[in-house]
Amino acid sequence: MRKDKKALLLGVIILLLVTGFLFNTLSLHANDFGQGDQFNSSITEKNFNLPATEQYIKPTYFIHDQLIKLVLLLIFTGIAFIILLSARYGYRKIILASSIAIFGFYLEGFLCPLIAMQNVFIKWQTGYLLFFLVIVISALLYGRVFCGYICPFGAIQELLHLKKLSKKISSSWNRYLTKAKYVLLGYLVLRVLITGQVIFQDYTPFKALFTWGGNPLSIGLTLTVVLLSIIIYRPFCRYLCPLGAFLAVFSRFSLFKVKVGSNCVNCGVCKNVCKTQAISGKSPKINYFECILCGDCIRECPKKTIAVKRINV
């Protein structure tokens, strides 16, 4: 218990330090913040009617819109940290539903993994970099916590998934399919660096789902993912999301990880309940590239030997 409290305190201190750094950076670079990743104008931007001079709009838009988004992202990240370190995974559904409502429909999917990543490489504006920095730091601390707790599209896929209808992909197929998102990530990065243009903007499921827009193809792709989510756990997150692939690389080096204790009896319960199929082997081995810290293995372990622990560095 004392170690858990120390870990929680460490996480809070790191979060506060990051928050202070971000706000200091924001105050210095407000004019370079740029616009958000939303596909249509945000609510605050639509209702903002002050004089439209170039020098005036940028800092005002920054203060009234982007700062709110950054604060919300930090709050959600902090709540996710607390859930992880207190092992109160029952609250996870609440934060997922809140993410859908706030980051999804109210803010119109501004955290789109396809578009956000490309904007970082193309524009190098303070706004894009800071949002991305928060997500990357969270991955270095706890792994794919953004995927498992904050991403609104991942949240929708999870809440639609029905346990009674759930089907697992075979281990061999799952190994191949999980590599697809890394291929897509590599293609996006290379294409963006070569052309300097955002691609797939009209085909992202974020646009079709959260802004009720898009073309017939994007709507069809979104419906396919949504329907597949009922029987296959988070298909887009596991097999197609380039941001998930990017964060997976950082999660391999995270400070806190899901660890199996020495009193494990190799019962296989954790492997069976892991919906991302991130646990394999008779003696359970966790694939940190695919683990989204849902906590199912921790809750179901009969020996209570699995927990989020700080690694020895």
CB 191 within 8 A of CB 108: no
- The whole-angstrom separation of Cα 146 and Cα 46 is 28
Helix, strand or coil for residue 307? strand
SS3 letters for 19-58?
Answer: HHHHHHHHHHCHHHCCCCCCCCCCHHHHCCCCCCCHHHHH
pLDDT of residue 16: 53
CATH 3.30.70.20 fits 264-310, yes or no: yes
Phi first, then psi: what are they for 244, rounded to 5°?
-60, -40
Which pairing describes strands 256-260 and 306-310: parallel, antiparallel, or unpaired? Answer: antiparallel
**pLDDT value, residue 14:** 57
Collapsed DSSP state (helix, strand, coil) of residue 179: coil
Instruction: Count how many residues are written for the chain.
Output: 313
pTM of the model: 0.79
pLDDT at 174: 94
What is the C-alpha to C-alpha distance for residues 48 and 106, in angstroms, rounded to an integer?
16
Query: How many whole angstroms separate alpha carbon 141 and alpha carbon 138?
Result: 5
Q: How far apart are CA 212 and CA 219, in angstroms?
A: 9
**Can you tell me the distance from the alpha carbon of 218 to that of 287, in angstroms, rounded to the nearest whole number?**
31
Query: For 30-40, b where at least 16 C-beta lie within 10 A, e where not — what string?
Result: beebbbbbbbe
Measure the CA–CA gap between 176 and 223, rounded to whole angstroms: 23
Averages of pLDDT over each 10 residues, the chain, 313 residues:
53 55 50 46 39 43 66 92 90 94 85 72 70 90 94 95 92 93 89 78 78 81 92 95 92 91 92 94 91 95 91 65
* pLDDT, tens only, 152-190: 999 999 999 998 999 999 999 999 999 999 999 888 888
At 208 the pLDDT is: 80
Burial of residue 164 (CB within 10 Å: 0-12, 13-18, 19+) is exposed
Judge whether 85 and 13 are in contact, CB under 8 Å: no
- Chain segment 232-254, per-residue pLDDT in tens: 999 999 999 989 999 999 998 99
For the chain, the domains span 2-162+169-251, 264-310
